[in-house]
Structure 1
Amino acid sequence: MSKKVGIIGAGVVGTAIGVVLHDKGYEITGVHDKKSESTKTLVDRIECATYASPQEVSRSTDILFITTTDSAIQSVVDELANSRAFTDGQVVIHMSGAQSSEILNKARHFGARILSLHPLQSFANLEMAINNIPGSIFSIEGDKDTYAVGIDMVEKLEGEYFFIDPAAKPLYHAGACVVSNYLVTVINLGIKLMEITGVPREMTVKALLPLIKGTIRNIETVGIPDALTGPISRGDISTILNHLACMEETGAELIDLYSCLGYYTSQVALEKGTIDMEQMTQFQQTFARMRAKVDLGS
């Protein structure tokens, strides 16, 4: 398979994949984005061609990335299909975690093959995306005769990969959202609780980062559930009751989220073996009562 790559959609992900593939020896034949400034960013980085339409990009390349927003993928596919811009033998790829490769199905009508290549990684900005994509773990699904193309890319990026059922993509993506997006929310909860005590936000973030990093290292080293520490893991119900008593003045939203997380944390502690079923039930009943109390008060 040729290493000629075209890109439709030059946002953070599209630009980053263009840069890292170019650095690994792929020829980026051209790029198109509705926003000219996005196109310019990629062109300036790797000196590739810019095209006025997605059709021109598609006709210029053997491997076509559609890296628009998830909501725009279908309309791009429809536009390319309606103008017969897909080519026989072409591999059409998207990098969405939530969408399966089937959203590219119309490309098959013209002899193209389809592939989803999703990096389990977060991209806060372009430079972080360029740094984070190499070495990532990717999920792969689509036409089996395209797997070699995806695997070759992942291996050149020094990453790893696994295959996934297309029908499972929404649930898979939900799991990724929990550990990436919702992690930020959980950390924000901790920051807010500490801010209430009078600790400045800047100092709170600085103080919590070593704790966060230590927890991640524990997960890397001993895995889950063994990485779980803290009062629930120890079966310390009195500390949890003190937390909840002090939190009654903080507002229903914080109490509700804390209690919901605590409820499920007790299940992890049971899996770890540091509390028994009776203790888990006690924790869960405590958190359930607090959530019910919050609901009644709202």
Structure 2
Amino acid sequence: MSTSPAPLATSIAIVGAGRLGGVLAAALRHAGLEVRGPFGRGDNLPASDVVLLCVPDAEIATAAKTARPQTRLLGHVSGVTPLDDVDFSIHPLQTFTGTETADAFHGIGAAIAGRTAEARATAESIARVLGARPFAVDDAHRAGYHAAASIASNLVLAVLDAAEQVARAAGIRPDESRELLAPLVGRTVDNWVRTGARQALTGPIARGDEATVHRQRNAVAAADPALLPLFDELCASTRVLARREPATVAAPTSTEARA
């Protein structure tokens, strides 16, 4: 049986004035909470019910030692760092530039964990007050979860940059290529969300048209030979994907059909 998260503490101090720290502080204030900070390195940290560390992973342990005497519950926003030095974690599953509005967390996922029931309930409450959807990720699976997030965001940008470079060699300006390719990227992602990668796959590899892939490879080599290893690895992975049996969806039961 699920239980409601504990009420949020009355005061939250944010440590870390980077991209996420600033946006998070603004969003929590907008939600009506008492927020202190974000504080930078060397700032005097006031006593608060909760301190949330929005610092680089390598700085969490040091920041935690400084913050611990000033709070009852200490958390971080890292997706990969375990809970060795804190009580809970909340990792917004989104990319931030620091310019987002207060509703930037609405509808996104937020990976949470806690060393105690109270700590986990606090992480869940923070996620919900931000409008995010909390889901549990324990320390044993944290690196895998974070790798999935990086593949879906950071590594995708490397692929898009490669596309931009090849388009530039074909005579298309970078700003124009981004504008032209964006609808294709968006539709591809929409199809993936609806059906999964195998059924969303189109193009020469899906059709078994290796002659076209070979011509594409020559064009990539002419644009920048350094891109060939990436192109070859992506093509190899896509061939595996194309051979994968499409996922089947079980027919609804009579009860489900009536729902």
Task: Give the TM-score normalised by structure 1.
Answer: 0.74
The residue identity in structure 1 corresponding to 2:237 is: Y
Q: Does the 8 Å CA contact 2:25/2:37 hold for their aligned counterparts?
A: no
Matched, 1:218 2:205: no
1:65 to 52, 71, 86: 52
**Mapped pair 1:27 → 2:34:** yes
The equivalent of 2:83 in structure 1 is: 101
Of 182, 204, 207, the residue aligned with 2:155 is 182
Tell me, what secondary structure is at the counterpart of 1:34?
coil
Q: Secondary structure at the match of 1:92?
A: strand
- Check 1:218–1:272 CA distance in 2 against 1; reply closer, same or farther (3 A cut): farther
Name the aligned partner's letter for residue 128 of structure 1. E
Q: Distance in 2 between matches of 1:31 and 1:120?
A: 20
Q: Report the counterpart of residue 111 of structure 2 in structure 1.
A: 139
Q: Is the 8 A contact 1:137 1:160 kept in 2?
A: yes
Provide the rounded CA distance (Å) in 2 between the counterparts of 1:74 and 1:165: 19
Q: How far apart, CA to CA, are the structure 1 residues paired with 2:28 and 2:245?
A: 42
Structure 2 residues not aligned, in runs of 5+: 1-6, 247-259
- Answer yes or no: is the 8 Å Cα contact 1:135–1:157 preserved in 2: no
Any idea what SS the aligned residue of 1:212 has?
Answer: helix
Greater length-normalized contact order (CA 8 Å, ≥ 6 residues apart) = 2
SS where residue 78 of structure 1 aligns? helix
Q: 8 Å contact 2:165–2:223 — kept in the other structure? A: no
Cα separation, partners in 2 of 1:185 and 1:33, compared to 1, 3 Å: same
1:40 corresponds in structure 2 to none
Query: Do the aligned partners of 2:60 and 2:85 also contact (CA within 8 Å) in 1?
Result: yes
Tell me, in whole angstroms, the C-alpha distance in 2 between the residues paired with 1:65 and 1:11: 13
What is the letter of the counterpart of residue 15 of structure 1? G
Structure 1 residues without counterparts, runs of 5 or longer: 36-51, 105-113, 274-298
Partner residue of 1:230?
A: 203
Question: What's the counterpart of residue 149 of structure 1?
Answer: 122
| Structure 1 residue 261 displacement after superposition | 0.7
Distance 1:17 1:228 in 2: 37
Q: Measure the CA separation in 2 of the matches of 1:103 and 1:266.
A: 44
CA distance in 2, matches of 1:251, 1:9: 39
Equivalent position amino acid for 1:267 in 2: V
Q: What is the aligned length? A: 239
Distance in 1, matches of 2:151 and 2:31, equals: 32
* Alignment-mate amino acid for residue 238 of structure 2: T
Query: Displacement of 1:132 after TM fit?
Result: 2.5
1:270 aligns with 243
